[in-house]
Amino acid sequence: MKDGVDAGSSHLFQPRAAYRYLTSTGAERPGGPGKNYTLASGVIVTFYESKIDENRSEKVFLDAGKNPPAGVVVNYYLKDKPEDDVTLSFLDANGGEIRCFSSNADSDGPKVPADAGVNRFVWDMRYPPATKVEGDSSTDKSLDGPVSAPGVYKVRISTNGYSAVQSFEIRKDPRVPATQQDLEAQFDLLLKIRDKLSETQQAVNTIRTLKGQLAGWKERPGAPASVLDSADALEGKLATIEEELIQPRGSAPLDRVNFPTRLNVKIASLTAVVASADWVPTRQSYDVYNDVSGRIGVQLGRLQQVMDEDVSAFNNLVQDLGIPAVAP
């Protein structure tokens, strides 16, 4: 319907300016069948929740209005249903990629619609999430990346040989007195927290991968005593570091009540504090970040030393003994 748009070809429309604002309406918990209730601005409101797809759900309020989509709304027209994947890449002002979403069913994150005609995708303005540790729920609620600071950004669409770029603006909530510098400082600290959490969780994943391989060596029939002893010693060193980074006995959220929290939860919990309001981080937030990240750095240094020395020594032992890679 827009002048200058050729219905015979695909088209990416320029997104309207998006406002970043806090959208929490009370305790975040999944809606069940039938009526659900939540607290919004001191009032109890009623809603039904229906599932759109495996990643998205929609709330239909019975006694309250519905807000516009919370994010950057990207509309695009596809002449035909594309044979290739459709990708939407969100870029910063310098052209650096923030996130890329795809219509591919195997891709992470919400899927990009790829139907003939007009499609709509809503970006929540967030940077990529932190690394996850499979089987651990202690940090699941703190993995989200930070919301982009106010500024000019770009979106790029690519499919079937068609590519286009449009710029758009993310604006601060006009009711918020924080300055641009305040919100950029908040974003910078939240990004550091996410990166430190990712570094911590990746180290845990590495440790558990190594421990799994060592367990396989210990179960091999006829493994020499020297290999078993070396595997036990290496496994012990890895377990000691792991227990400083993550609570191995914790698998459910309430386990934090029963077992001491470790460094990954301590750094992850800081996200909720810094992101609780559109405001410059407090001095105490920086102090906590510097303290916890320093303690994480000590453990990561210990892990690197174990990797360089003990893991290498174990590999050399196995090679010197000429143990076959596959044993019946």
- Any bridge partners for residue 45, and if so which? 38
CA distance 182 to 179: 5
Q: What does the pLDDT read at residue 213?
A: 94
CA distance 262 to 243: 7
Sign of CA dihedral 174, 177, 179, 182: negative
Mean pLDDT of the region 240-250: 91
Distances (CA, A) of 37 to 24, 30, 57, 65, 66: 14, 11, 16, 14, 15
82: helix, coil or strand?
coil
Q: What does the pLDDT read at residue 54?
A: 65
Mean pLDDT of the region 146-169: 96
Q: What does the pLDDT read at residue 140?
A: 86
Can you read off the two tokens belonging to residue 69?
Answer: 């989509």
Task: Kindly report the average pLDDT of the chain as a whole number.
Answer: 90
pLDDT at 187 over 60: yes
Percent of the chain with pLDDT over 90: 69
Return the axis-axis angle of helices 263-274 and 225-245, rounded to nearest 10°.
Answer: 20
Mean pLDDT of the region 178-193: 98
Mean pLDDT of the region 165-179: 96
What are 16-70's pLDDT values in tens digits? 999 998 765 455 566 778 999 887 767 888 999 888 766 667 888 999 888 888 8
Mean pLDDT of the region 66-88: 92
Q: What does the pLDDT read at residue 251?
A: 65
Place of tokens 């006995």: 249
Write the DSSP string, 267-286. HHHHHHHHTTSSSPPPHHHH
Residue 159: other Cβ atoms inside 10 A? 21
pLDDT at 85 over 80: yes
